[in-house]
């Protein structure tokens, strides 16, 4: 098993080595070929020069003597080749001994395979298109190189190898750096998922990646951690809420009934009524939970019909004026004019939505308070706002108020309810493709905003 960074580094380095080997090989072959070609051209020019020189000498002297062109011998000796001058009958005029140059040859430096094998080439010496003699040029290699030539070729090869090694070094550094850019965020996410699986929802990835996919991955894991943390808080809260909601009426019943059995409390009609109310309240809670279960299982079938939201809300507000009046709460209904507030929905269910919201306003707004209901149109939505200047909701409670059995601390102890109303509201609205948002400030008031999708015909 390897880490990602190790794997990536190995991959990078292997690719680099392969590329460098290929480039080195290619450059080396090309340079050697071109260089050899250049040397062959040089050699051919030299042959030509020797022949022309001898032709000129013959033209001048008109015959071959022991000294004709003998000065070429020195250059030939220095250049590691052997010259033999022959007359037109192929009889040697003068010649060099191949053994003289053999000793000074640096055979290892020769680039060709036939090094060390003595071969000669014969060239005609012509004057006025007539062959007057021959010159044999012999050498121990098909391509002759001076020490400088060999050094030049060596230094080119050395630079190719050095630049290859340097490239490898640089690429290795880069590959380590870049593979870390991949592996660090991934191992961070892996570490975080292990933490999440252990129930440590607080962990967050901190390493910032500028690779889009990795950044997305990190962000989604962070969001996942947030959601898991939220669900965990919710689960703990739900257990305590359920036990609270069920325990309280049961305790009241048990204590009262025990007191009656022990004869501490007299069994009166009022007492029995009171206990019955507790049983009814308990029954309501179970009923609401049942309704919720059906919504969540999506087994509730909605009866869709066209609803004129302005008339519909006005009617529900009418039913509330009396209750609001009892608590001296002012109800304001503002409907933006010149619009058709047409939606498609289930009247009974939507009525439940507004009843729940309005009842909450009455519950959580002090005497003399105000409830405002606004209806207006936005580009693609019909918007309903229900706001009050009541007790408001604590910031830490806000994210949870739509959850089952969630009740703000204040309402939990002082105000009747069971924390299911808003969960039902949200579920009904979701079935209508509508959304609900809440804004609230403790002590200042609360505003619920519902966005209904506009009906196509409206
Ligand atoms: P219930 O009203 O039965 O407690 P809900 O689900 O209707 O349950 O509301 C959940 C919680 O949201 C309430 O307990 C309360 O803390 C808070 N809440 C809802 N509406 C308002 C409001 N208009 N003003 C202040 N708090 C509210």
pLDDT along the chain (458 residues), means of 10: 79 88 89 88 92 92 87 85 91 86 59 67 91 91 76 87 89 86 87 89 80 89 89 79 78 90 89 89 84 76 90 94 92 91 93 95 94 93 96 89 76 68 92 95 95 74
> Hey, whose CA ends up nearest to atom 15 of ligand 1?
408
Give me ligand 1 centre to Cα 352, in Å.
15
Give me ligand 1 centre to Cα 421, in Å.
8
User: In sequence order, what are the residues at sequence separation of 6 or more whose Cβ sits closer than 8 angstroms to the Cβ of residue 246?
Assistant: 282, 285
CB atoms within 10 A of CB 445: 22
Decide: 411 in ligand 1 pocket, CB within 6 A: yes
Phi, psi of 211 (to 5 degrees): -95, 120
Query: Closest ligand 1 atom, CA of 423?
Result: 6
Decide: 418 in ligand 1 pocket, CB within 6 A: yes
Q: Cα–Cα distances in Å, from 164 out to 24, 26, 32, 148, 150?
A: 7, 12, 17, 24, 21
> Hey, whose CA ends up nearest to atom 12 of ligand 1?
401
Tokens of 33: 């070929």
Region of 15 on the Ramachandran plot (φ > 0 left; ψ -120 to 50 alpha; else beta): alpha
Can you give the pLDDT at residue 371?
96
Can you give the pLDDT at residue 3?
77
- Going by DSSP bridges, is the β-strand pair 92-95/81-87 parallel, antiparallel, or unpaired? antiparallel
Place of tokens 């309240």: 281
Give me ligand 1 centre to Cα 408, in Å.
7
Give me ligand 1 centre to Cα 222, in Å.
30
CA-to-CA distance for 410 and 417, rounded, in angstroms? 11
Tokens of 125: 């010496």
Give me ligand 1 centre to Cα 419, in Å.
7
Q: Cα–Cα distances in Å, from 86 out to 44, 55, 81, 91, 366?
A: 20, 13, 16, 5, 134
Can you give the pLDDT at residue 187?
87
Q: Is the pTM of this model over 0.85?
A: no
Are the C-beta atoms of 392 and 446 separated by less than 8 Å? Answer: yes
CB atoms within 10 A of CB 48: 11
Give me ligand 1 centre to Cα 446, in Å.
10
Are the C-beta atoms of 366 and 329 separated by less than 8 Å? Answer: no
> Hey, whose CA ends up nearest to atom 21 of ligand 1?
360
Decide: 401 in ligand 1 pocket, CB within 6 A: yes
Decide: 364 in ligand 1 pocket, CB within 6 A: yes
Over its C-alpha atoms, the chain yields an Rg (Å, rounded) of: 51
Decide: 387 in ligand 1 pocket, CB within 6 A: no
Give me ligand 1 centre to Cα 447, in Å.
12
CA-to-CA distance for 31 and 28, rounded, in angstroms? 5
Shortest CA distance to 450 belongs to which of 424, 420, 429, 427?
Answer: 429
Burial label, 320 (beta-carbon count in 10 A; 0-12, 13-18, 19+): buried
Decide: 420 in ligand 1 pocket, CB within 6 A: yes
Give me ligand 1 centre to Cα 403, in Å.
11
Choice from 361, 364, 389, 436 to test ligand 1 binding pocket (greatest atom count within 8 A of CB): 364
Decide: 369 in ligand 1 pocket, CB within 6 A: no
Query: Closest ligand 1 atom, CA of 408?
Result: 16
Give me ligand 1 centre to Cα 454, in Å.
28
Are the C-beta atoms of 374 and 334 separated by less than 8 Å? Answer: yes
Tokens of 219: 């962000």
Tokens of 130: 């007539």
Strand partners, 86: 92, 134
CA-to-CA distance for 295 and 426, rounded, in angstroms? 10
Q: Cα–Cα distances in Å, from 407 out to 5, 243, 289, 290, 412?
A: 50, 13, 15, 18, 6
CA-to-CA distance for 206 and 217, rounded, in angstroms? 13
Q: What is the dihedral of CA 22, 24, 27, 31, to 10 degrees?
A: -140
Tokens of 110: 């020769």
Give me ligand 1 centre to Cα 307, in Å.
27
Shortest CA distance to 339 belongs to which of 385, 386, 378?
Answer: 378
Decide: 421 in ligand 1 pocket, CB within 6 A: yes
CA-to-CA distance for 413 and 49, rounded, in angstroms? 118
């Amino acid at each position: 098993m390897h880490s990602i960074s190790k794997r990536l580094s190995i991959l990078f380095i292997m690719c680099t080595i392969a590329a460098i080997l290929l480039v080195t090989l290619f450059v080396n072959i090309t340079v050697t070929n071109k260089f050899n070609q250049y040397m062959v051209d040089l050699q051919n020019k030299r042959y030509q020069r020797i022949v022309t020189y001898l032709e000129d000498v013959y033209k001048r002297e008109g015959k071959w003597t022991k000294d004709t062109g003998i000065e070429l011998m020195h250059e030939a000796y220095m250049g590691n080749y052997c010259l033999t001058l022959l007359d037109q009958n192929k009889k040697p005029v003068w010649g060099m001994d191949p053994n003289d140059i053999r000793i000074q040859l640096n055979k290892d430096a020769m680039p060709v395979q036939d090094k060390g094998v003595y071969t000669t080439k014969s060239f005609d010496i012509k004057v006025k298109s007539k062959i007057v003699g021959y010159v044999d040029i012999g050498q121990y290699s098909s391509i002759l190189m001076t020490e400088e030539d060999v050094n030049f070729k060596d230094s080119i090869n050395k630079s190719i190898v050095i630049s290859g090694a340097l490239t490898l070094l640089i690429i290795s550094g880069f590959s380590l750096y870049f593979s870390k850019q991949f592996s660090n965020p991934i191992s961070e996410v892996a570490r975080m998922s292990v933490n999440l699986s252990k129930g440590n929802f607080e962990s967050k990835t901190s390493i910032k990646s500028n690779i889009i996919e990795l950044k997305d991955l990190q962000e989604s894991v962070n969001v996942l951690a947030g959601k898991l943390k939220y669900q965990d808080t919710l689960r703990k809260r739900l257990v305590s809420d359920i036990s609270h909601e069920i325990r309280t009426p049961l305790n009241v019943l048990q204590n009262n009934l025990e007191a009656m059995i022990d004869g501490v409390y007299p069994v009166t009609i009022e007492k029995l009524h009171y206990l019955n109310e507790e049983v009814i309240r308990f029954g309501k809670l179970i009923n609401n939970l049942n309704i919720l279960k059906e919504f969540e299982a999506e087994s509730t079938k909605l009866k869709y019909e066209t609803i004129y939201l302005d008339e519909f809300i006005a009617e529900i507000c009418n039913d509330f004026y009396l209750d609001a009046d009892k608590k001296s709460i002012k109800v304001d209904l503002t409907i933006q004019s010149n619009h058709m507030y047409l939606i498609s929905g289930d009247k009974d269910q939507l009525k439940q939505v507004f009843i729940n919201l309005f009842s909450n306003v009455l519950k959580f707004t002090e005497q003399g308070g105000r409830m405002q209901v606004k209806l207006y149109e936005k580009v693609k939505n019909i918007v309903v706002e229900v706001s009050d200047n009541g007790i408001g909701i604590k910031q830490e409670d806000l994210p949870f108020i739509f959850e089952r059995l969630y009740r703000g601390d204040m309402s939990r102890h002082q105000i009747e309810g069971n924390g299911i109303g808003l969960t039902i509201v949200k579920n009904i609205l979701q079935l209508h493709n509508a959304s609900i948002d809440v804004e609230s400030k403790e002590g200042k008031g609360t505003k619920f905003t519902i966005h209904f999708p506009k009906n196509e015909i409206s």
